Amino acid sequence: MKTSFRTKTNISERNGKSLAARELAVAVFFSVLFLVIAGRAVHVHVFQGTWLAEQAKSQYNKYMVTCGKRGTIYDAKNQELAVSLEVTSLGAFPKRMDDKKEVANKLAKVLGLNAWDLRKKLQNTTSFTWIKRKISPKAVAEIKKFKLPGLEFVGEHNRFYPNRGLAAHVIGFTDTDGKGLEGVEFQYDQELYSAPDKFLVTRDARGKRFNTSDGYTTGFQGNNVVLTIDRQIQYLAEKALNEAAKEFQARYGTAVVMNPNTGAILAMAQYPGFNPNAFGKSNKDLWRNRAITDPYEPGSTLKVILAAAALEAHLLTPTSSFYCENGSYRVGGNKVNDTHPYEWLTVQQIIKYSSNIGAVKISEITGKTLLYETLTDFGFGKNTGIDCPGETPGILSNCKKWRTIDTGAISFGQGISVSAVQLLTAVSAIANGGNLMKPHIVQSVVAPDGTLVKNCEIQSPKRVISAETSEKVKEIMASVVAEGGTGVNAALSKYTVCGKTGTAQKIDSGRYSADKYNSSFVGFAPKNNPQVAVLVILDEPKNAHYGGTVAAPAFKRIIHETLNYMNVEPENDNNDDTILLAQRFETKRDGVKP
Amino acid sequence: MGNGYDSVNKNLVWVVLLVVMTLELFIFTWSRVQCTTVGYALTHQQDENNHLVSLKKKLIIERAHLRAPDRIAAIAQERMGLNIPEQNQILTLR
């Protein structure tokens, strides 16, 4: 019993020691473990904390780059002429694709591409490649259904012109990347363009966006450009020009409508036109704005400037008479002819009947220096500074180089080239009392929030003739449109129109052609308070070629419809066409039928 | 007796602390969950807003397209038989 007690005590002691040792071991083990964890925690938090935080951020937060939206182009009444639409482009990362053949076949079918070419493209590219830019929403939906790996849908903007071909030459167009190529799109590219920008997108562990917008539609955009062009007047001008050009089978046609008091272009039409939404399908030759870029010989329309030169210098009066040689006159070895033979004509009649010989005789009085200086003052031979690309200064050589025939020819608008906008600006100076305005097509540049960035309307006019001379030339121009004048087809019954016809022979193989003409008509109305100045030019019309026959009717239509649209009060209203509202109400009240 | 009272008080303090801590834990968790929910709701609303803004832009473009003068003129002429009035068809109201 004693032995067994001792044995039990020994065992118990041994067990107690072993337990204490085990407890110690466990305590040490956990202490070491805790120390390791604590050490690691300190290491992670103190030494690697910043780096790890950045790593985590980069996994959840990503900067996405999106191209900015190009600004809108508005007309004078804030109607959209050019806008940007949100579209989707399809790109691919071929490395991430398992079966390129299958991807190529499926995409080619939906996008109307060649499957073989697409497959080759995917096989030959390792990094990112575009499959097709700016695809339809329907195609996007179909492709998304395939759930193909390695495809990237990228949001972009596409330029759209809601009025199709209306003012296409003025507005221009952009390339696929939204860069302006022609017209206002080119000239004001910097203002309209919006550089790509990046925005932060936070995603959760499942890739779902969290507390962030996709930043695409709410994004930023370039400035908006407001034109002086009025969509309605542009339409009226284009319609009248197209019909005249088709009637006379002209090669080209141009019509420009200007506010003579400000130099603002209200319409700038061209025939034939093109659709800027599909500009690639039209001939490149049709893209340029001929009213700005192409010089042409103005013909007799320039005689009004000659008259202004002579009257301003007080060398002549509108009633000064010249002998017009019965239709044929020799100038420096060359013969100048009139369409109809005339004997004695006053300055006013010379312009009214458009006598070339009379014009030569006036230029003999003014001399070449005064004529040259007046032409230069009116802006010929240099750029007008209009805010459109590719402006031509025209051709006006220095008068020191002029021979006698050159002075004579320039007096009736041959041997000099001008642009349509130059001529209309000069005639507008006559209309507004003698101030040469700078023509302009952009009214203002406005930020997306509506604040004014740039006002393009403030111009300082240059006085080129006195108000008195302006009145005299206006009288002369009004006689052109009166009974017996060459421009009678431009007359309006309710407004006094001032105008001048032009018929210029074109140069063909170095000589003046006998059957190729530029027919034009320039003028303004109403005479006493000009609101609109219009120039119509038709290039190489068939069947008829006189400006008074070919261009004057189109001019008349444009100016009549424009004045009507602008609600300009008639000058020559007879009482039958006027209803006095007060009288009408009075009559009604008295019970008498009006 | 006094020791027993102290012991009860001590236990009560611990219980209260435990309840407060637990409540705090729940409130904290609830607020985090709320934050996340509101975050997703914001994203959804922003997307909705973007969609509506985009739709508005499309409608403005559509309106501009429908108001194109050549389209209006064609409708006026073909469907209604209207024309731009000639000079003798215009009466002035004074």
Name residues whose C-beta falls within 8 Å of residue A318's C-beta, 6 or more positions apart in sequence.
A307, A311, A346, A347, A348, A472, A475, A476
Cβ distance A579 to B94 less than 8 Å, yes or no, reads yes
List the catalytic residue out of A84, A89, A300, A479: A300
Choose among A166, A217, A579: nearest Cβ to B68. Answer: A166
Give the closest of A217, A231, A493 to B50, CB-based. Answer: A217
**pLDDT score, position A1:** 47
Nearest to B53 among A166, A212, A218 (CB): A218
- The residue length of chain B stands at 94
Within 8 A of B49 by CB-CB distance, chain A residues are 213, 218
Query: What residue of A is the nearest CA neighbor of B90?
Result: A577
The more confidently predicted of residues B89 and A161 is: A161
> Would you call A300 a catalytic residue per the annotation?
yes
Rounded CA separation A81/B65 (Å) = 9
Test B94 with A210 for CB contact under 8 angstroms: no
Q: Which neighbouring-strand residues pair with A203?
A: A209
pLDDT of residue A216: 54
Helix, strand, or coil (residue A402)? coil
Q: Hunting for tokens 């002086």 — which residue is that?
A: A228
- Is B91 within 8 Å of A578 (Cβ atoms)? yes
Whole-model pTM: value is: 0.80
d(CA A9, CA A247): 133
Q: What is the pLDDT of residue B51?
A: 83
Alpha carbon A57 to its chain centroid, in Å, reads 46
Name the residue of chain A whose CA is nearest to B94's CA: A580
Cβ contact (<8 Å) for B92 and A569?
Answer: yes
Q: How confident is the model at residue B60 (pLDDT cuts 50, 70, 90)?
A: confident
What pLDDT is recorded for position B75? 94
What dihedral angle (degrees, nearest 10) is formed by the CA atoms of A565, A567, A569, A575? 80
Asked whether A217 and B54 are in contact (CB, 8 A), the reply is: yes
Per-residue pLDDT of chain A (594 residues; tens, 9 = 90+): 455 555 666 767 777 788 888 889 999 999 999 999 999 988 888 888 888 888 777 667 777 666 678 999 999 999 999 998 888 888 888 887 888 888 899 999 999 899 999 998 888 876 778 898 888 888 888 998 888 888 888 777 889 999 989 999 999 999 888 889 999 999 999 999 887 777 677 777 766 667 666 555 545 688 999 999 999 999 999 999 999 999 999 999 999 999 999 999 999 999 999 999 999 898 898 999 999 999 999 999 999 999 999 999 999 999 999 999 998 999 888 889 898 999 999 999 999 999 999 999 999 999 999 999 999 999 999 999 999 999 999 999 999 999 989 999 999 999 999 999 999 999 999 999 999 999 999 999 999 888 999 988 767 789 999 999 999 999 999 999 999 999 999 999 989 999 999 999 888 888 888 889 999 999 999 999 999 999 999 999 998 999 999 999 999 999 999 999 999 988 876 666 666 666 666 665 555 443
Distance CA A400, CA A216 (A): 63
Query: Measured between CB atoms, does B47 come within 8 Å of chain A?
Result: yes
Give yes or no for A570 touching B (CB within 8 A): yes
Q: B60 vs A83: CB contact, 8 Å cut-off?
A: yes
Angle CA A25–A26–A32, to nearest 5: 90
What does R_g of chain A's alpha carbons equal in angstroms?
Answer: 39
Model confidence pLDDT, tens digit, residues A284-331? 989 999 999 999 999 999 999 999 999 999 999 999 999 999 989 998
Contact B92 A561 (CB under 8 A): no
pLDDT at A584: 62
Cβ pair A162:B61 closer than 8 A: yes
Which residue from A minimizes the CA distance to B46?
A213
CA A537, CA A252: separation in Å to the nearest integer? 8
Q: Are B64 and A80 inside 8 Å of each other by CB?
A: yes
d(CA A200, CA A214) in angstroms, rounded, equals 9
Our CA-based measurement puts residue B39 at a distance from the nearest CA of chain A, in whole angstroms, of: 5
Chain A contact for B93 (CB, 8 A cutoff): yes
10 Å Cβ neighbour count for A95? 11
CA distance A552 to A482: 13
- Which A residues 148-177 touch B at CB under 8 Å? 160, 162-164, 166
pLDDT score for B57: 84
Cβ–Cβ gap A83/B61 under 8 Å:
yes
Task: Give the whole-angstrom CA distance, residue A594 versus residue A291.
Answer: 50
Res A496: pLDDT: 94
Here the tokens at position B58 are 């499309």
- Contact status of A205 with chain B (Cβ, < 8 Å): no
Contact pairs from chain A to chain B, CB under 8 Å: 97
